[in-house]
Structure formats: C-alpha cells, structure tokens
C-alpha cells in the first residue's frame, strides 16, 4: 500500500504573503514596520555615509563640485533609488514571492517551478540562481567592512588627533560583531528598530537644515539634470555611475526579508520614513558641497554642527553594526537554503531562538565571513579604497534579479511582451549601465567580489557534481530494496523489539547501514523505517502535506518507507517530523514508540579514482568539502546516544 501526501512543492505559486493578511490591525502593522527598520534598511540606510563622497573621489576628482555636476549626480541618485528600489523591488518584485518568501534563492526556485516542464530552461535558471547567490556572498563580506570603516572614519572630522586609530577601532568592532553571532540577535534585536528610527530622523533633520538654507537644490530632483549630465559629460557620467550605485546597496535585502515582515510593513517603512530621509540627506549634502566645495572630502559628517559630530559618529557606528548584522544574518539564511537545495555541503546549523525559526547561527559560515571581512578591511584600509570594490557585487545581484523577474513575469502575471520589453529596457538598461561603470574598477579592487563569487560558484558546482557521482556509486552498491526485502522474507531473520530508523535518499535502493546491520548482526528490529528527506522549492511545507508513506509491498513485515519534504527554510529535524507523521496518520505507529528509536546512518569514506567523471583537482576539492561537512546526525537532529554510523566506502 502506498499513501502519498501532497508536498508544498507541487502547489501553484503563491502571489500573496499569507503571514500578514489584509485584516491585520494597524498597531501590529506599524510594530512590524518598526521591526523591519532594524533589519531590512540597515545597508541602504547607511549609504549616505560614503555614497556622495565616493562620487567626488573617483578618477582624481573628475566630478567637480559645481552646479551642473552636483545636480546631475543628485538627480541620478534620486531616480536610481526611485526606479530600482521603489518601483522594481517594492512595486513589482515583492509581488513575485515564493510562498511568502523573497530573495534571489526564492525567486530562482519560483522560476524553476514555473518552468519545471522545460528541463533545459530549469538548468539555466539554476545557474542564474547560483550566480546571484555567489554575488550576495561578496556583498556579505564587503558590507560590514565598508559600513563600519565609513562610520569610524568620522573621527577624521571630529577628533583628528586619534584618526590613526580608525583602522584598529574598526577591527575591534568587527571582531566583537562576529564573536557575538553565536548568541543570536534576539536579545539586542528589539533595539534595532528604535536605533534605526533615530538614525533616519537624524539624517532627515541634518539634510533639512541645508535644504532650508539653500532651497534651490530641490531642482536637482528633476530627471532633466541627470539626462543633461550624461549627454554633456558621457565619460565622466560613466565613471560616476560606479559610485552612484552605492545609494541602492541593500535593495536586495528589501526583497529577501519580505518573508519575515511582509510586503505592507516594508513598504510603509520605506515610503513614510526611509525614502524621504535618504532623499533629504542627499539633497543636504549636495547643497553643502555647492556652497563649500572643500566639504566634498566628507560631506556627511561636515553636514552636522561641530558639537554634534562625535555623537553622530557613535550613532553611525551603531547603525553600521546593525547593517552588518542584517547582512550576516542573511548570509546564514541563504547558506541554509543552499544546503537544503543541494548547492553546498551539509553545515552545522544552531537555532539561537526558541520562538523564531529564522534566527540561526552557522559556525563555518561565520568563520569564513569573518576571515573575508577582516582581510578586505586590512588590505584596503579605508572606505574610500574599499568603495571601488563594492559596486560589482551589488549591480551583479540587481541584474540577476531583473533577469529572473523577466522570466517569471510572463507565466506568473501573464505580462504582455511589450511590458516585458519595457521592464527589461528600464530596469535592465539602468542596471547594466551601473555594472559597466563598475567593471572599469576591476583593477582597483573590483576583482574582490568577482573572486569571491568565482570561488563560491566553483564550490557549489563541484559539490553538486560530486554529490551526484557519489549517489550513483552508492546506488550500485546498495542494490534493489525490493530484492533485499524478499531476501529478508526468505531468511526469516530474528526480530528484536524497538524501532530502527534508516535515513536514506530514496526507496529504490537499500541503505548501506541496513545491509551492514543484517550482514553482521543477523537480526532486524521489529519496526524498520526507511526515511527519505527532500526539500521542496518553497520555504515551508505544512506537516499535513509533507509525507509519503509506503509499506513496500508487505503490510505485516514491519519494514516501511516514509518520505519527508521540508521547505528550504524549515529545520530538517527527523525525529520531530516522524512524530508529526504519527499525529497526522501518515505513519501507522504510535508517537510514543519513537521515544527510544535507534537511528542508523549510512556513511563511508569517499575515495577518489582515476575515472574521467571529474578532473582530479575538483575531485580533491569535493573530498575536502565532504570531509568537513556537518555530521548527518547533527544536521537532522538525531539523538547522539541512539545514533549509529555504518556503511562502506564510496568512489568518485
């Protein structure tokens, strides 16, 4: 008998965010918007620290502090934020959620579902998703470094006597930031929202003072100045685009964190506070530079009265720590999704909150991010130099999201071809211009995110290929499960009390641990459950829809199969899932029978061979990745004292 429960991966794509229904009360909505301020807007909210300053530093000061250039740059900044963030991400992309979740990984999974019937296109979509994920890791390494450095560099303005301590202070802050990751962000997270509210209010107040003094700067919001600037100075404007893109760093976070907060709270926080505050502050900095050209060296901190600059440095440092925390947390979540989709080896995941499933800590990812952040911090030494490396990862991620948007829009919303072309021209044209402007900075540091992305792509593709080869070799050695069960029936092996659980990828072949147990112990448990774990291309799979049961042809032999589907944001806890299967009737035993169940893991050493299935150095890389992968017992939350590892070697 076979009973199949419909898994979440086969449902039609969701186009709404069910966690925040339309009827939610306004107090709860604004409370959620406040929480979103502390997580979603940290990166884009700290861009005023370095964005305009970087424009005037490019190419030895090619952009001059005169009216035409300043108005042209401000217009480019404003309309870049408007088109990319307000229209593309908040207006359009947030409608393309994958069961309520956003981000490049969720968008790629949604696109794969929509094009599942076209195998070739699904493969291309996977490659696009891998590129997007890889670029995000580059962003995750550069963002903490440039954000904290740019904040601490305010000491150059406030207290020049200790400006030589900027780099050591930034390093200490970053060390503390990564050291505290293991404790989670729940305890301090409640402060993030209020701190960021204060930050955006300070941005607006500081900029408003200059705008009131020089209201003529408001004309810089006209798109005509951007067009005139580009036409009159094509070479200079091309260079300037490499820095203008810094105003939209963190746009991906708006979309990626949609599953945590919902569309409406993020939109309200953006349009009611963040967008106006950023616009006013950039206008204020522009007015300051026009009237005091020497202020272009650091227009953000020089915007404040001298008495307030040190407190602003402290507040800016707090805001950049929050921005860094948001990016690091995003890297943890993205890494877990990549593991569950088979793009990275199993990694240890620790929950840092008993109530919030999204609050996790991944030690290996934390160490690698820390080493990367400290390396770029010490190598570049200042936010000015580091800004040359920043834009490529940001613009590359924007382009990936646009490509996926154009692919899903036809099937998800039935867009007419002219709409797709218009979106491609407007969004893709602007983002490709940004990308081209940043490619000119490869020699001066732009190689850093490309190198990071290349390493991640190599790791993901090597792991995916090697994993497939291992599965093929194991399948040859495991043999048919049906034949094994028939052999067991003929042998009439002794049965011992209890439940034995064998995690295994499928129900066609025999778990190596099960074969080894029968071969060496000549017994079987009273109940044998072969458990397959799969991950649907949706964030969460409800228990009632997550199980597939099969008695494997014999209803009374005690050997059964259970397939479990987790969402890519779910915690793959096998014991918990087995109990849930009992409660919903997908597994015909009592939940209390699982209290003392034993778990047998099929695992053997991986040996390389001389076959041409993979070049030697990639085989060695795969073996190294597998050797450092997390213990399956820890990954699936198996009880250590009741878990046994058995099996034989596998070859690639």
For the chain, the structural domain boundaries read 36-440, 479-651
Residue 22 pLDDT grade (very low, low, confident, very high; cuts 50, 70, 90): very low
| Per-residue pLDDT at 100 | 67
Q: List Cβ<8 Å contacts ≥24 apart for 345-351.
A: 345/463, 345/625, 345/626, 345/628, 345/629, 345/630, 346/629, 346/630, 346/632, 346/635, 347/629, 347/630, 347/635, 348/630, 348/631, 348/634, 348/635, 349/571, 349/630, 349/635, 350/182, 351/571
Alpha-carbon distances of 468 from 88, 191, 321, 435, 457, rounded to whole Å: 37, 45, 40, 35, 17
Q: What is the pLDDT of residue 575?
A: 94
Q: Which of 138-147, 183-192, 490-499 has the lowest mean pLDDT?
A: 183-192
Indicate the CATH number of 36-440 among 1.20.1740.10, 1.10.10.10, 2.120.10.60, 1.10.3720.10. Answer: 1.20.1740.10
Examine the pLDDT at 18 and tell me if it is beyond 50.
Answer: no
Of 382 and 203, the structure prediction assigns the larger pLDDT to 203
- Assess whether pLDDT exceeds 50 at residue 23: no
Highest mean pLDDT among 53-67, 135-149, 184-198: 135-149
- What gap in Å lies between CA 27 and CA 476, rounded to an integer? 60
Task: Please state, for a pLDDT cut of 90, what percent of the chain lies above it.
Answer: 32
Better-scored residue on pLDDT, 339 or 247? 247
Question: What pLDDT, on the 0 to 100 scale, is given for residue 376?
Answer: 92
Residue 150's Cα: distance from chain center in Å?
24
Q: What's residue 647's pLDDT?
A: 65
Dist. CA 228–CA 430, nearest whole Å: 16
629 or 289, which is more confident? 289
Residue 324: Cβ-neighbour burial (10 angstroms; 0-12, 13-18, 19+)? buried
Mean pLDDT score across all residues of the chain: 84
Residue 548 pLDDT > 60: yes
Q: If pLDDT is split at 50, 70 and 90, which confidence band does 276 have?
A: very high
Residue with the larger pLDDT of the pair 430 and 610: 430
DSSP per position, 421-488: HHHIIIIIHHHHHHHHHHHTTIIIIIHHHHHHHHHHHHHHHHHHHHHHHHHHHHHHHH-BHHHHHHHH
Q: Which SS3 state, helix, strand or coil, does residue 3 take? A: strand
The arithmetic mean of pLDDT across residues 126-154, rounded, is 87
Query: What is the C-alpha separation between 247 and 257, in angstroms, rounded?
Result: 19
Range 291-307 average pLDDT: 91
Q: Which two tokens stand for residue 180?
A: 């505290």
What does the pLDDT read at residue 123? 72
Question: What are the counts of helices (DSSP H) followed by strands (DSSP E) for the chain?
Answer: 27, 11
Phi-psi region of 131 (alpha: psi -120 to 50; beta: other; left: phi over 0): alpha
pLDDT tens per residue, range 83-129: 999 999 999 988 887 666 777 877 888 888 888 777 566 678 878 88
Q: What is the pLDDT of residue 356?
A: 53
1 pLDDT more than 60? no
pLDDT band at 172 (very low <50, low <70, confident <90, very high): very high
Here the tokens at position 396 are 């590359």
Are 206 and 281 in contact, with CB atoms under 8 Å apart? yes
Quote the pLDDT of residue 115.
Answer: 81
Task: Report the distance separating Cα 47 and Cα 316, nearest Å.
Answer: 11
Indicate the helix (H) or strand (E) that contains 550. Answer: strand 547-550
Q: In sequence order, what are the beta bridge partners of 536? A: 567
- pTM metric for this prediction: 0.78
Q: What is the mean pLDDT of residues 440-445?
A: 79
Q: To the nearest 10°, the Cα dihedral for 488, 490, 494, 497?
A: 50
SS3 state at 565: strand
Question: What six digits make up the tokens of 271?
Answer: 């349009």
Rg of the chain (C-alpha set): 27
Judged against a pLDDT cut of 70, whether residue 291 lies above it is answered with yes
Q: Is 168 helix (H, G, I), strand (E, B) or coil?
A: helix
Q: What is the per-residue pLDDT for 3?
A: 47
> Does residue 8 surpass a pLDDT of 60?
no
Q: Which of 407, 520, 373 is nearest to 126 (CA)?
A: 407
Report residue 287 as tokens: 């007015």
């Amino acid at each position: 008998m076979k009973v199949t429960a419909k898994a979440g991966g086969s449902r039609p794509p969701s186009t709404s965010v069910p966690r925040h229904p339309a009827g939610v009360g306004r107090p709860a909505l604004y409370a959620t918007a406040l929480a979103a301020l502390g997580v979603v807007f940290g990166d884009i909210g700290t861009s005023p620290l370095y964005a305009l300053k970087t424009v005037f530093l490019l190419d030895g000061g090619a952009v001059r502090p005169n009216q035409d250039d300043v108005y042209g740059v401000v217009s480019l900044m404003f309309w870049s934020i408007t088109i990319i963030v307000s229209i593309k991400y908040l207006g359009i992309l947030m409608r393309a959620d994958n069961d309520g979740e956003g981000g490049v990984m969720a968008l790629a999974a949604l696109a794969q579902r929509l094009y599942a019937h076209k195998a070739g296109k699904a493969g291309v979509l996977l490659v696009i998703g891998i590129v997007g994920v890889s670029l995000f890791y580059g962003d995750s390494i550069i963002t903490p470094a440039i954000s904290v450095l740019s904040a601490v560099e305010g000491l150059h303005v406030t207290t020049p006597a200790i400006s030589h301590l900027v780099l050591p202070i930034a390093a200490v802050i970053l060390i503390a930031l990564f050291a505290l990751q293991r404790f989670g962000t729940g305890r301090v997270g409640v402060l993030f929202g209020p701190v960021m509210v204060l930050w955006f209010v300070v941005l607006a107040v500081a900029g408003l003072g200059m705008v009131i003094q020089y209201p003529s700067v408001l004309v810089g919001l006209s798109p005509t100045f951007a067009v005139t600037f580009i036409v009159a100075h094509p070479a200079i404007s091309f260079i300037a685009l490499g820095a203008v893109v810094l105003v939209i760093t963190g746009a991906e976070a708006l979309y990626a964190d949609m599953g945590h907060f919902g569309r409406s709270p993020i939109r309200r926080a953006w349009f009611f506070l963040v967008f106006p505050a950023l616009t006013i502050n950039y206008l204020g900095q522009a007015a300051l530079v026009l009237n005091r050209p020497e202020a272009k060296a650091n227009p953000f901190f020089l915007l404040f009265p001298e008495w307030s600059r040190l407190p602003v440095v402290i507040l800016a440092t707090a805001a950049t720590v929050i921005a860094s925390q948001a990016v690091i947390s995003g890297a943890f979540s993205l890494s877990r999704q990549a593991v569950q989709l088979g793009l990275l080896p199993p990694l240890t995941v620790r929950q840092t909150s008993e109530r919030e499933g999204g609050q996790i800590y991944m030690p290996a990812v934390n160490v690698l991010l820390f080493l990367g952040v400290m390396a770029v911090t010490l190598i570049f030494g200042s936010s000015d130099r580091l800004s040359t490396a920043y834009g490529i990862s940001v613009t590359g991620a924007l382009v990936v999201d646009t490509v996926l948007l154009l692919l899903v829009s036809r099937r998800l919303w039935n867009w007419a071809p002219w709409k797709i072309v218009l979106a491609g021209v407007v969004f893709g044209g602007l983002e490709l211009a940004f990308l081209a402007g940043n490619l000119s900075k490869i020699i001066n540091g732009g190689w850093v995110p490309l190198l990071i992305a290349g390493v991640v792509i190599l790791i993901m593709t090597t792991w995916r290929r090697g994993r497939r080869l291992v599965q093929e070799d194991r399948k040859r050695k495991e043999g048919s499960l049906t034949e094994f069960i028939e052999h067991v029936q003929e042998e009439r092996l002794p049965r011992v009390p209890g439940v034995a659980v064998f995690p295994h990828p499928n129900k066609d072949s025999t778990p190596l641990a099960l074969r080894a147990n029968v071969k060496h112990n000549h017994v079987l448990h009273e109940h044998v459950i072969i458990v397959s774990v799969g991950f649907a291309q949706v964030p969460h799979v409800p228990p009632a829809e997550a199980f597939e049961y099969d008695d494997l042809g014999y209803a009374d032999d005690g050997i059964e199969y259970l397939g479990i589907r987790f969402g890519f944001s779910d915690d793959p806890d096998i014991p918990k899932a087995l109990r849930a299967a009992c409660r919903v009737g997908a597994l015909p035993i009592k939940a209390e029978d699982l209290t003392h169940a034993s778990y047998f893991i099929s695992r053997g050493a991986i040996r390389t061979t001389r076959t041409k299935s993979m070049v030697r150095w990639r085989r060695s890389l795969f073996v190294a990745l597998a050797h450092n992968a997390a213990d399956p017992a820890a990954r699936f939350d198996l009880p250590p004292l009741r878990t046994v590892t058995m099996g034989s070697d596998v070859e690639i």
